[in-house]
Structure 1
């Protein structure tokens, strides 16, 4: 059956997934190498100004493009705040953190937002990247938390030490226990270096 292309609707048909992100740069080779390392990605195609990288079943998840005249990023202008990459488990998130650290890629900000446990980074151009794992068993449980008084009081989250979390995981603490956000009361937007 063919869709009724002329029928008015209350909302647009949603996409089935987010396919990829393209980053414009004036630092091409450094950015390609960073994202290869950061994501454990493979370069599918590359020429002098364009590279397509993937780390999963998609033919490309991240593209790096070097367009003539590209200026350095200005962190105080409108634009994309960050991209986020999800891990299935807290153990995988922390393993990737430790592997990045071994490659000299240091985190910017580890925080338990409530719905997710996240570790943020900056790429060589200054773009922020979030790596995360879901803290709840279902999207409905996460949504319920986001509608709670705790989230209303602090939608930013509670900072944590990844090394301490690794130690606790190695000592037998459960992922469920470690992913429960510690409530610290009201918190504003942090200033990140």
Structure 2
């Protein structure tokens, strides 16, 4: 019997190579409220917590546009917030800086906002719908999740208004799937394909943000 691979303790950091060095630094710093632990002409190391670096950006001016049509590549990285309030407060701050999400969607397990950096990489900022990871796993094994595994679009300002009106975070985060919103796996795949484009170089249409 083969031995199981040892699991890592945690995910440590993500590294980007870019020809848009300063633009990428500015974007990721503002997206995550990060700061530079070390900055040089060839690379900068950013963090937003007690880790020595979470994001590294490597300056490679010779690089050409990396995105083409219908190619296989890394899709996105996700960061979790501790509350819906924090996610929405961050949205307002980023919006004031000109950083807005291309897709806002309640997946069921998470309420998520997707952003696209200057190089076309996607970042998902999310809050969990459930108090524990096991509850999230149980939901993903449920018939309710199978009714719509893609999720429903939302308008951030609508969620802000509901929160300010006193509705609980648990209620706002709960995905309610109507009979006309049920999707099988094929329909969900088509929905996501139209939403994000055929590859990560294609930005989602702006109207997807407001088609709740």
Q: TM-score, normalised by structure 1?
A: 0.91
Answer yes or no: is the 8 Å Cα contact 1:28–1:49 preserved in 2. Answer: no
**Map 1:45-84 → 2, pairs under 5 A:** 45-67=38-60, 69-74=62-67, 76-84=70-78
**Map 1:1-193 → 2, pairs under 5 A:** 8-9=2-3, 11-67=4-60, 69-74=62-67, 76-183=70-177, 184-186=181-183, 187=188, 188-189=191-192, 190-192=194-196, 193=204
Aligned-pair CA distance for 1:137: 1.3
SS in 2 for 1:51: strand
Larger relative contact order (C-alpha < 8 A, sep ≥ 6)?
2
CA distance in structure 1 between the partners assigned to 2:66 and 2:98 by the alignment: 22
Aligned-pair CA distance for 1:156: 1.1
Q: Which structure shows the higher helix fraction? A: 2
Question: What is the count of residue pairs matched by the alignment?
Answer: 186
CA distance in structure 2 between the partners assigned to 1:68 and 1:27 by the alignment: 7
Answer yes or no: is the 8 Å Cα contact 1:73–1:126 preserved in 2. Answer: no
Answer yes or no: is the 8 Å Cα contact 1:20–1:62 preserved in 2. Answer: yes
Aligned-pair CA distance for 1:102: 0.6
CA distance in structure 2 between the partners assigned to 1:155 and 1:15 by the alignment: 28
Aligned-pair CA distance for 1:23: 0.8
Point out where structure 1 has 5 or more consecutive residues left out of the alignment: 1-6
CA distance in structure 2 between the partners assigned to 1:18 and 1:180 by the alignment: 28
SS in 2 for 1:101: helix
Aligned-pair CA distance for 1:118: 0.4
Answer yes or no: is the 8 Å Cα contact 2:18–2:61 preserved in 1. Answer: no
CA distance in structure 2 between the partners assigned to 1:191 and 1:134 by the alignment: 21
Partner of 2:201: none
Q: TM-score, normalised by structure 2?
A: 0.84
SS in 2 for 1:191: helix
Answer yes or no: is the 8 Å Cα contact 1:117–1:135 preserved in 2. Answer: yes
SS in 1 for 2:195: coil
CA distance in structure 2 between the partners assigned to 1:70 and 1:134 by the alignment: 37
CA distance in structure 1 between the partners assigned to 2:165 and 2:88 by the alignment: 15
